[in-house]
Amino acid sequence: MHPFLFKEVVITKKSTEMKKRFLTLFVILLAIPYLITAQERTRVTGQGQGRSIERARFVFLFIGDGMGLSQISMAEAYLSTQKGEISNEALSFTKFPIMGMATTFSANSYITCSSAAGTALSTGYKTNNGMLGVDPQNNKLTSIAYKIKESGVPVGIVSNVTIDHATPAAFYANSSSRNSYYDIAVQIPASGFDFFGGGGFAQPTGENKDQKNIYEILEEGGYTIARGLREYVSKKGAKKIALFQEAGKEGALPYAIDREDKDLSLKHVVAAAVDHLYCAKGFFLMAEGGKIDWSGHDNDAKTNILETLDFADAVNVAVSFARKYPNETLIIVTADHETGGMTLGRERGYVLNLNELASQSKSISVDKESKDAVKELNNKANVGWTTSSHTGTAVPVYATGPGSRLFSGRMDNTEIPIRILKAMGLE
């Protein structure tokens, strides 16, 4: 039995209200009573404390790629600006009771790339920039997702960028090069993980477009392919599902600023993953907001802000789930690194004018001719950037639920997966 039912919203061009409902959430989550007795709850005894502590049964790991404290503060300031206030309107996860910080350097550079950071977050080991799921000597490392799956707990991996990109791939693949997209993607069936979703594939038929289609390989490996939420609803009950955009829409999901009716968003994919993965044994779900990073590389402030808010919407799906299972749900929100060196303020002065961003309606990625105009808007808003690459700052870690105290204080990114296993009683 699933904790949520998905109701498909029928969209018609004549119904503005229906369109709004789709844009806010195509899938309505309805709680179903699920009786969990005291005997069914998994408990561990705290040493020397004389009391039992519930293990984390349902675990969400949200990774905002490129999301440093500046990106979070900017998004909160933007929300307040929309209300005509000078304040920081808290996102759900910034109100979590536990907060820590994680260092992000890789094995060969103080400034990490996403594959090295993803490897640290998935395996607990450092590697060189450009490498994925292997150590600097090219020895294969094992993601905690495999250890969790081996314990009988369902596993899901989702992202709003392509599923063969650095962060999601680090949880299921091993490669000496993060750019070997096809070789990475074909490793999905061997993982046996229960749910993949979000963006499609960077090279579905290989770099030279002469390889077997990855979607066929997934189907042969036992995965049911669902193109869009309507197909997902019709294929509910399949053992393993891979959910992507509707046919004809390939690659990463659109930026929030560019999204059209019926496009998937990260929150839709997270909700579908929860619906599919839920069972008495619990689940582990890694969800990446990858386009915070991409818009940071573009130094595109408004797009970056909306991506951070879109990521927060996905986290809210987990927060809603946790309200039903507060004693068994652990939610961790962190980042792999910061991108762009974003600053709230630039040059001289103590002013932030985020209202100046209002006129922007497309991302630089979609409207490439707008790059100079977007730069001018950034300057008027007094938003600064120091680089079009990553920075080496530590990133925040937010947590709530059973085991969340393990994520307080200072830590290295390699400690996060180890602490997740500990919270699940799988150390």
Q: Which domains does the chain have, with CATH numbers?
A: 56-358+366-423 (3.40.720.10)
95-135 residue pLDDT tens = 999 999 999 999 999 999 999 999 999 999 999 999 999 99
Is residue 33 within 8 A of residue 307, CB to CB? The reply is no
H helical segments located in 63-113: 69-82
Q: Is the pLDDT of residue 43 over 50?
A: no
**Which structure tokens are listed for 18?**
């229906």
pLDDT exceeding 70 applies to what percent of the chain?
88
Return the amino acid letter for 389.
Answer: S
Other Cβ atoms within 10 Å of 14 Cβ, number: 7
The pTM score is 0.91
Is residue 124 within 8 A of residue 417, CB to CB? The reply is yes
**Which structure tokens are listed for 241?**
């599902």
Q: Is the pLDDT of residue 311 over 70?
A: yes
Beta-carbon-side half-sphere exposure of residue 95 (alpha carbons within 13 Å): 10
**What are the backbone angles phi and psi of residue 314, rounded to the nearest 5°?**
-65, -40
Q: pLDDT grade, residue 48 (50/70/90)?
A: very low
Top pLDDT among 136 and 36 is at 136
Angle at 182 between CA 179 and CA 185, to 5 degrees: 105
pLDDT of residue 53: 55
CA distance 320 to 27: 14
Beta strands in 228-277 (DSSP E): 241-244
Beta strands in 290-382 (DSSP E): 329-334, 338-339, 343-344
Mean pLDDT to the nearest integer, 181-196: 98
Which helix (H) or strand (E) element contains residue 304? Answer: helix 301-324
236-256 residue pLDDT tens = 999 999 999 998 888 999 999
CA distance 28 to 30: 6
Q: Is the pLDDT of residue 222 over 60?
A: yes
